[in-house]
Structure 1
Amino acid sequence: MFENAYFSKAELSCRCCGKLHFSDDTLGRLIRVRERFNKPMVITSGYRCRAHCTSIGSTMTHTTGQAVDVPVSGGRAYELLGIAIEEGFTGIGVKQHGPHKGRFLHLDDLEAIPGKRDGPTIWSYPR
């Protein structure tokens, strides 16, 4: 499942338990985004087990293996956002305030989340 030139197992595995339950389709989409972006993309959060999501007070999108967080800001964030949407990422979380080292985009390709969203959406993270 996992051989690729851009992302390591460690990047996409749960930081809590080390498990890797990442969607092959999402990984393929992520690789296409990386190839078009043509710049390094570090994944700071990929798959998260339920215990990890609960411990950090996060939503459960990462438990699906279809979500990543990518540190990026400014013009690069704008460029990455456009490519991600064109490649089919349907959930986009934007944190572009505060110090640049803490800015990121959340990308997921979940079609819908019952009770949360019916289709493609974009949101910003609170300060």
Structure 2
Amino acid sequence: MKTTDQIVVYPIIIKYEPDDTDCPYLVTIPDLDNGMTQGKSIADAIAMAEDYIGTTSLEESLPTSNYALPQTKKNETVTLVRVNVSEYKRKHDNKVVKKTITIPNYLNELGKENGINFSEVMTNALRDKFSI
């Protein structure tokens, strides 16, 4: 974590709904216009909420949370989740950015002759380098 990373904390409501056998834990995130997701367990539900918040951060600016824990009803659990938005974006933002690289001319010519997509080659090489 870098000291300038954006960290957000949001309350979530987890409701157990035993009728849904695959993902019986329904998650509501009130601060995100009642965003919803599901989980197979409490831990999975929390992870899904973190992912929902992170994914939302890729698409729009996140609102400020007041950190107020909502009142619970029967079969509900309320907790806070913390998401390092900056780290999430570093790992999941697939937006394409232009980079200029320098390679020897003979490799450039061979690449053009063989129809090589240099961006694809560089992307794959970086994925291999970072083991992702």
TM-score between both structures, scaled by the size of structure 1 = 0.24
Q: Which has the higher contact order (CA 8 A, sep 6+)?
A: 2
Which structure: larger Rg?
2
TM-score between both structures, scaled by the size of structure 2 = 0.23
